[in-house]
Amino acid sequence: MAVERTLSIIKPDATRRNLTGKINAKFEDGGLRIVAQKRLQLSKAQAEQFYGVHRERGFFNDLVSFMISGPVVVQVLEGENAILRNREIMGATNPANAAEGTIRKEFAESIEANSVHGSDAADTAAQEIAYFFSGTEIVG
**Active-site amino acid positions:** 117
Tell me whether residue 109 or residue 120 sits nearer to Mg ion (CB atom): 120
Min separation Cβ 27 and ligand IDP, Å:
16
Tell me whether residue 3 or residue 96 sits nearer to ligand IDP (CB atom): 96
11 annotated to bind ligand: yes
Please check whether residue 116 is in contact with residue 23, taking contact to mean a CB–CB distance below 8 angstroms: yes
Q: Distance between CA atoms of 128 and 117, rounded to whole angstroms? A: 11
Applying CB under 6 A, the span of 19-27, 32-40, 76-84, 110-118 interacting with ligand IDP comes to: 110-118
- Dihedral sign, Cα of residue 131, residue 104, residue 109, residue 18: negative
Q: What are the start-end ranges of the E strands in the chain?
A: 3-10, 33-40, 72-80, 116-118
In the region spanning residues 77 to 96, those forming contacts with ligand IDP, defined by CB under 6 A, are: 93
66 annotated to bind ligand: no
- State residue 12 phi and psi, 5-degree precision: -60, -30
- Say whether residue 112 binds ligand IDP (CB under 6 A): yes
Q: Which of 25, 27, 15 is nearest to 67 (CA)?
A: 15
| Contact letters for ligand IDP, residues 35-64 (x by CB under 6 A) | -------------------x----x---x-
Min separation Cβ 58 and ligand IDP, Å:
8
Q: Which of 95, 82, 101 is nearest to 11 (CA)?
A: 95
Which residues would be at the binding site for ligand IDP (CB under 6 A)? 54, 59, 63, 93, 111-112, 114, 117, 120
Which residues would be at the binding site for Mg ion (CB under 5 A)? 120
